[in-house]
Amino acid sequence: MIAPSAVLLDLDGTLVDPAGAITSGIRHALLSAQIADPGEEKLRSLIGPPLAIGLATIDGVTPGIIDTLIASYRAEYAQSGMAASRPYPGVAALLKALREVGTAVLVATAKPTPIARALLEVQGLTPLVDGVFGNEDEGDGQSSSKTHILAEAIREHSLDPARCVMVGDRLYDIEAAHENNMGSIGVGWGFAEEGELAAAGAGAHAADVPELAGLLLGETAEESLRAAILMGADA
């Protein structure tokens, strides 16, 4: 099996489990602005696309307060959310295995790039990635699409999209992969609704991190990672 030349991975819901930090942070921002809590299901649906776009769909949120809400959310997330998050079991070992075979590991996220870098640092993943690509917006609703973010990664690293794979937990990841002519793998441990990834046209699906390792590196890699997780040696 020939490994991809580069694997681009989403962050929240793919590499890192936010452990409720994102939804609780958004809820805190809304309540601070005296906007009713829209419920956990609605808040979970905001994980994936740029936050400004998601906030605009909440009853009571007007364009004029979106920047304030984002600033409030980011302050709460920086104070407690990053530390509460955790890499999914096997993630660190998978990233190491990819780099050992010469595959570039790139993070592609709708998060602002500085926040994404800070989260990776807090979770000890910084040494395991070769690049981080996210948004550079200041919360004005003009966030880059995931399609544009992948295109920037392709350009900066001079990648051949035909030899790259995008891995993510939401339809935005899969659609962006298609629009950049690269393969895609949807993961089943994130925030997609049932059937979302298949409907978006994911090229493959991984139920857990070891299965993802198998899709990217072969059956032996999957078996090794499953054994490592069982023994608690998957870091």
How do the pLDDT tens digits run along the chain, 235 residues long? Answer: 788 999 999 999 999 998 788 888 999 999 999 999 999 999 988 888 788 989 999 999 999 999 999 999 989 888 888 888 999 999 999 999 999 999 999 999 999 999 999 999 999 999 999 999 999 754 444 567 999 999 999 999 999 999 999 999 999 999 999 999 999 999 999 999 999 999 999 999 999 999 999 999 999 999 999 999 988 877 6
Main-chain dihedrals φ then ψ at residue 86, nearest 5 degrees: -145, 140
Residue of 27, 67, 71, 28 lying closest to 46 (CA atoms): 27
- Parts of the chain belonging to CATH 3.40.50.1000: 6-18+86-230
Cβ-based neighbours of 133, under 8 Å, separated by 6 or more: 8, 106, 107, 108, 109, 113, 149, 150, 152, 153, 156
Main-chain dihedrals φ then ψ at residue 183, nearest 5 degrees: -70, 165
pLDDT of res. 139: 46
Using alpha carbons only, give the angle 164, 94, 110 rounded to the nearest 5 degrees. Answer: 55
Main-chain dihedrals φ then ψ at residue 196, nearest 5 degrees: -60, -45
Give the number of other CB atoms < 10 A from CB of residue 58: 18
pLDDT of res. 143: 61
Cα gap 210→200, rounded to integer Å: 23
In the CATH scheme, what is the homologous superfamily, with its name and number, of domain 6-18+86-230? HAD superfamily/HAD-like (3.40.50.1000)
Q: How is residue 157 annotated by DSSP?
A: T
pLDDT of res. 204: 98
Cα gap 235→231, rounded to integer Å: 11
Q: Which CATH code is given to the segment(s) 21-84? A: 1.10.150.240
* Helical H segments across 51-180, by residue range: 51-55, 66-76, 82-84, 91-100, 113-122, 146-156, 171-179
